[in-house]
Amino acid sequence: MGRLIGDSFHAQGSLYGVAIVAMIAVAATTAGSAYMMEYIVDAMTNPGMRGWAQLIALGVIGLFLTKALASYIQSLFLARAGNRIVAQQQDRVYRKLLRQGVSFFSTNESSDLLMRTTHGAQAARQLVDVLVTGFIRDLLTLVGLVIVMVYQQPLLAVMFFVIGPMALFGVRYLLRSVRAIMRAEFKSLAEIIRVLQETSAGIKIIKVFLLEDRMITRMDTAIRKVEERANDIAKLQSIASPLMEFLAGLAVAGVLVVSTMGIAGTEQPTAGQLMSFITALLMAYEPAKRLSRMRVEIETCMVGVGMLFGLLDQKETMQESPDAHELVGGPGEITLRNVTFGYQGTIPVIEDMSVTFEARKTTALVGHSGGGKSTVFGLIMRFYDPEHGYVEIDGHDLREISFNSLRSKISYVGQETFLFSTSVKENIRCSKPEASDEEIVEAAKAAHAHGFISELPEGYDTPVGENGTFLSGGQKQRIAIARAILRNAEILLLDEATSALDAESESLVKSALGTLTKDITVIVIAHRLSTILEADEIIIVQDGAIIEQGSLDDLLVKNGSFRQLFDQQYKKDELTQSITE
């Protein structure tokens, strides 16, 4: 709480300063209006004071006008400061997420991150609002009204000091269960988001396997739990109001009895003094009620704030070296030296691997799924750091190179194509933001994507939908290839880049990639051997180790693992023809 308040006031001190001054004015005018009741009633009941009626009326108008203006300024500046807190906290969280490594997102569900970012920021804003309004406006208002009560009727005011603390003690027991209820509610809200995300991403599977009823049951369960937790919180928050209502009634009844019995003081109070006291007492009810409920609201907000700061305080899984230097231009040779790596400290996926990918040549990685081929790509792009050994580009350890200079020299096309929910043009341009429209069209033509793009309703400006949902798999893949072609980086990583293409499209794209891959370092992962027959070097990876390596002709002659894979995909006559060619 102290950290949030410190950060908020440091960043939004001027806005909160204006709001606090306005709150002080609201508190002062509220107490002043209760005090003015003495003069209002006396002017109406005492003939000797009727000459002051007009002056008192002007004072009342000025008092309430000041209160109205102060209330407006308070609400406006408090809202601006609160909105800014939400924006800043969400911005901080998002920047923190972008600094995290890829492994962070494989161990944290997106629904949980979404809850922390959205509800956590809102909880931070609500907590600051509760603390500022409670300790400034409500507390000062209550103090001002108490001063009026003590001034008008000291002995009657004692009753307020006796009954008031009773309300605070009555609320204490509510706090024990608030945090547990809020944590459970956040989990249920995250489950609602999770079900929605899975429904959107997996609607085909849900339809094919008739999982509608199961998904409805999951959603109904999550919604019901959120409703139950919300009702529990509402019940706890609602207890304070009836309790204060009852205690306020006791106080008014007590004032009536004591004042009529004549034991409140030696002198009988005037009607104006008694009315001023009762008005202050009744007006003190609202700020006292809010203050008694404030602790429950604070506990409610603290769960979301704790989740927010928990995310901000998480250690970054991938950090740039403080002394990182720029990767200077070079031929683009990539070397793995005695590299061992396993995800989350598990059994190594790659163990003591040493290999060099020659500069300006095409190297193919071949092998069964799970052998570690995609992991090699992740290490080269420095999504992960090896547990042992080194990954180097042109002799530079990647851990000593800045992220920007490393990744600006790499282009990547994956098997699972990702597109942003924007236009075709912007999805291609994202690899080179400064590219002109003409360059984008040329890249699309090279990827043999220009034809279908031109037939789209808005051409290159056509939205592709969430992750390209409006496009076929082959169309998405060609846009991704156009994106890589546009960047024209020194190193190109292709992970099953043509897997979603038909034979004709694959042939066209292979031709385009042939032009693209001239004089750059290319590493290709492929299960279909037809895509890597022209590679300069072929490496067979199995269980995280290199078991064969060489040119196509050399590997076919060895009659080893690659030859077996080759024979599985080609008939004998096709094999003979390929060797002859």
Q: Which strand (E) or helix (H) includes residue 572?
A: helix 572-580
The pLDDT value recorded for residue 572 is 44
3-state secondary structure of 231: helix
3-state secondary structure of 546: strand
**Bridge-based pairing state of the strands 410-413 and 396-397:** unpaired
Strand 491-495: give its sheet, edge to edge: 410-413, 491-495, 521-525, 362-366, 537-542, 545-550
* CA atoms of 372 and 542, how far apart (whole Å): 7
Alpha-carbon dihedral angle through residues 208, 212, 215, 219, given to the nearest 10 degrees: 150
The pLDDT value recorded for residue 389 is 92
The single residue listed with the structure tokens 């790659």 is 350
The pLDDT value recorded for residue 574 is 53
The pLDDT value recorded for residue 528 is 75
Q: Which strand (E) or helix (H) includes residue 43?
A: helix 2-45
* CA atoms of 475 and 496, how far apart (whole Å): 15
* CA atoms of 563 and 510, how far apart (whole Å): 23
3-state secondary structure of 463: strand
The pLDDT value recorded for residue 436 is 92
The pLDDT value recorded for residue 205 is 74
Domains within the chain, CATH numbers bracketed: 2-312 (1.20.1560.10), 330-409+491-496+518-581 (3.40.50.300), 414-488 (3.40.50.300)
Q: List per-residue pLDDT tens for the chain, 581 residues long.
A: 788 888 888 778 888 889 889 999 998 998 888 888 888 887 777 777 767 778 888 888 898 899 999 999 988 998 888 888 888 888 888 888 888 888 888 778 887 888 888 888 888 888 888 888 888 888 888 888 888 888 887 777 776 666 655 555 555 555 556 666 766 777 777 778 888 877 877 776 777 767 788 888 888 888 888 788 777 777 766 665 666 667 666 666 766 666 666 554 545 667 787 788 878 877 887 787 777 777 777 877 887 888 888 888 888 888 888 888 888 878 889 999 999 998 876 788 898 999 999 999 989 999 888 888 889 999 999 988 999 999 999 989 999 999 888 988 998 888 778 888 889 999 999 889 899 999 999 999 888 889 999 999 999 999 998 878 888 888 888 898 899 888 888 899 988 877 666 777 777 667 767 766 778 899 998 877 777 878 889 999 988 899 999 888 888 888 888 888 888 776 544 544 544 45
What are 524's strand-pairing partners? 364, 494
Cα angle 172, 176, 178; round to 5: 105
Residue 478 and residue 512 in contact, taking contact as beta carbons nearer than 8 Å? no
- Length of the chain equals 581
**Bridge-based pairing state of the strands 521-525 and 362-366:** parallel
The pLDDT value recorded for residue 523 is 92
The pLDDT value recorded for residue 376 is 93
The pLDDT value recorded for residue 388 is 92
